[in-house]
Chain A
Amino acid sequence: MPPSQILLWVSGAILGGLIAFWLVRNAIDEPDRFLEVTLIGGTTGMIYALIALGYTLVYGIIELINFAHGDNFMLGGFQTNSMVNDGSFQIPLFPTAYVLPIPLGVAATANSSSGQKIYTILMCLFFSMLFCMVINVTIERIGYKPLRNQPRLVPLITAIGFSFILQDIGLVWKDAGPQPLPNILPTGDIFHWRGATYSWNDFIVVAVTIPLLIVLTYLVRRTRSGKAMRATAQDMDASSMMGINVDRTISFTFALGGALAGAAGAIYALYYGTVKFDLGFRLGLFAFTAAVLGGIGNLSGAVLGGVVLGLIEAYVQGFWDARWTTTVVFSVLIAILVFRPSGLLGEQVPEGQ
Chain B
Amino acid sequence: MNNPPDVAQDSKEYEEYAHGVQKHVRGYLIVGATLLAFTMITVALSYVDFGAILSSLFHTNLSATQGRKANIAVALLVAMFKAGLVAAIFMHLAAEKRLIYRILIFTGFFVLGLFWLTLLAWYDYPIFR
Question: Bound pair: A and B?
Answer: no
